[in-house]
Structure 1
Amino acid sequence: MAATQRYSNFSIALHWLIAVLIVIAFILGNIMVDMRISPSKLQYFSYHKWLGVTVLGFVAIRLISRLLSKAPPYPTNMGKTQLLAANGTHILLYVLMFAVPLSGYFYTLAAGYPVVYLGLFELPVLIAPNPELKGTLKELHEILNKVMLVLVLLHVAAALKHHFYDKDGLLNRMRPGR
């Protein structure tokens, strides 16, 4: 696949960095919710929030980069339904990469806790503590995470299908170091 048919090295690096951070945040989130209250649990919550804020920042950069540069073309063998599914999944993933961290941020604020990024500075408090809203935002955060997990698994499965079954070079658009 020619170099012009690949995303830029910058976009590829951001894609994989964001993917790794999301996986770590997801695993950490699942571990911490089952822990008993302890200094370790509180530290894990901080790490989880830091990861969320970092993902949000990197996704904003990635979206701007994506809007400013043309994506490489899809393989010509992809039908209209596959193209619609691919584009729809990508759009939903972007929406979720914003919605998941933002729902966690607002859940934290509704619970009455500030978000202190990297332990260095407090992010703006955009809503006052609200016990009624806290439960709704917590549930929303959990649901959005589950939806994102399903879409990420679908995204990975589709990429692997294209690579191993269709052998159409689609995965090479985002493979690092090629």
Structure 2
Amino acid sequence: MTQSPSAAAPADLAHYDRTTIAFHWLTALLVVGLFALAEAWSFLPRGTSTRRLLQSLHISLGLVFAAVFVLRAVWRLSAGRRLPPAAGGWLRVASTGMHGLLYALMAAQIVLGFLFRWAQGEPFAFFGLFDVPTLIPIDREQRRFIGGLHDTVAWTIVVLALLHALAGLFHHYCMRDGVLRRMLSSR
């Protein structure tokens, strides 16, 4: 059911707080960047300096992503602005399910990233500043399985994030209910 523009007025006025908005867009940027790095190095021969540089950058940004994800979750559960649902019925169920699934997959991807690196038997170097120690020794034979799962979850996140973005555009251009503007600056 499509809402009329006058019925959408309350959603137009509601915005998330600046911290929530910043976490959302930083998460989106990191997800796209991490995915692009992994896809880019797959075209390069193994052992080349460019491939190792992209992998090192991916690992460092993955650690940033892990920190941002934890901070975002803490912020959302504690101080983040809560807005009333923009829609009811199946749209609300779909929206809640999509957000929950994205959060679960991002958390799983972080864990898989750590497990995969530990299975490789190499330290995490954070932009060359310090190494993250191995907390759980992983059998190197599990490396291929964990790596495949890490890749599958990455593709799933990207596809769902694309659907999430398309849903935002659908709300903005078809439903005209102000949902997309909620995640933009409140100015």
* Superposition deviation, residue 51 in structure 1: 1.1
**CA separation in 1, counterparts of 2:137 and 2:42?**
23
Residue 84, structure 1, aligned to residue 93, structure 2: yes
* Structure with bigger RCO (C-alpha 8 Å, 6+ apart): 2
Stretches of structure 2 that go unaligned for 5 or more consecutive residues are: 1-11
Q: Percent same amino acid among aligned pairs?
A: 33
Larger radius of gyration: 2
SS class of match (1:116): strand
What is the deviation of 1:130? 2.0
Contact 1:53 1:117 in 2 (8 A): yes
Structure 1 residue 44 corresponds to structure 2 residue 54: yes
Corresponding residue to 1:23 among 32, 35, 45: 32
Query: Equivalent residue for 2:118?
Result: 109
How far, CA to CA, are the matches of 1:23 and 1:97 in structure 2? 12
What are the residue-to-residue correspondences of 1:1-178 with 2, within 5 Å? 1-2=12-13, 5-37=14-46, 38-68=48-78, 69-75=80-86, 78-176=87-185, 178=187
* Distance in 2 separating the partners of 1:129 and 1:150: 29
Residue type at the aligned position of 2:82: A
Letter in 2 for 1:168: D
Unaligned runs of 5+ in 1: none
Separation of aligned partners in 2, 1:150 and 1:58? 21
Answer whether contact 1:107 1:137 (CA < 8 A) is retained.
yes
Once the two structures are TM-superposed, the CA of residue 102 in structure 1 deviates from its matched residue by 2.1
Q: Is the CA contact 2:20–2:75 (under 8 Å) kept in the aligned structure 1?
A: yes
Q: TM-score w.r.t. structure 2 length?
A: 0.88
Partner letter of residue 45 of structure 1?
Q
Q: TM-score, normalised by structure 1?
A: 0.92
Please give the root-mean-square deviation of Cα atoms over the aligned residues, in Å. 1.4
The number of equivalent residue pairs is: 174
